[in-house]
Amino acid sequence: METTPPLTLVFATHNANKVAEVQALLGPRYAVKSLTDIGCHEDIVEDAPTLEGNARIKARHVVEHYGMDCFADDTGLEIAALAGAPGVLSARYAGSDKDPEANMDRVLAELAGAADRSAQFRTAICLIQAGEERLIEGVCTGQILSARSGAQGFGYDPIFQPDGEQRSFAEMTTAEKNAISHRGRAVRQMVAHLKEVAE
């Protein structure tokens, strides 16, 4: 019996863990490659004013320069009392060295005494297959805590408590976080779509 070769799909990241996670969800019908795998080592300048724009810049770069189907993600923390900041600037909110501790200190200082501490993490994915572009979004709503809690995860996890939970993201296992997180939701939507088109 002849087997269909897997469809190659580039994930515009150098993070091998992110790639392995999506590969596990997609199964053998797809072969997911990282930027490192395809020899893409140039700096892709993410200078769009929105998460969607940055995801699009990364995905289009791969399609235009490497001629391969691709998807890219971009995530930000959007705080209501800060008019959606840090948003697209989440990684470098307190400076260009991308220091998560300094980023959390800045958010906590800006929210000191704030009555409204509601916030959401939002992940935008841009998927380009056969020249067709699709935007997918995953959101996780919650509250900014008044102090850090927990030591797992990364970024703003210690100060973000998802709605319906009594723990911060940093007090959850990776599996618990993935089940409810912005990125988990966006990736599962994309995987459902990819499985459908590969049938």
Q: Is position 73 annotated as part of the catalytic site?
A: no
Q: Min. distance of Cβ 155 from ligand IMP in angstroms?
A: 2
Cβ proximity to ligand IMP: between 71 and 121 the closer is: 121
Which residues lie across from 161 on neighbouring strands?
143
Cβ proximity to ligand IMP: between 92 and 134 the closer is: 92
Q: Min. distance of Cβ 36 from ligand IMP in angstroms?
A: 16
Cβ proximity to ligand IMP: between 75 and 161 the closer is: 75
Q: Min. distance of Cβ 112 from ligand IMP in angstroms?
A: 20
Q: Min. distance of Cβ 196 from ligand IMP in angstroms?
A: 25
Distances (CA, A) of 99 to 95, 103, 106, 148: 7, 6, 11, 15
**β pairing state of 132-144 and 7-11:** unpaired
The catalytically annotated residue of 43, 69, 73, 74 is 74
Residues contributing to the site for ligand IMP (CB under 6 A): 74-77, 90-91, 100, 103, 121, 153-157, 169, 181, 183
Cβ proximity to ligand IMP: between 143 and 195 the closer is: 143
Number of residue whose CB is nearest ligand IMP: 155
- Amino acid in the structure at residue 139: V
- Which of the residues are catalytic? 74
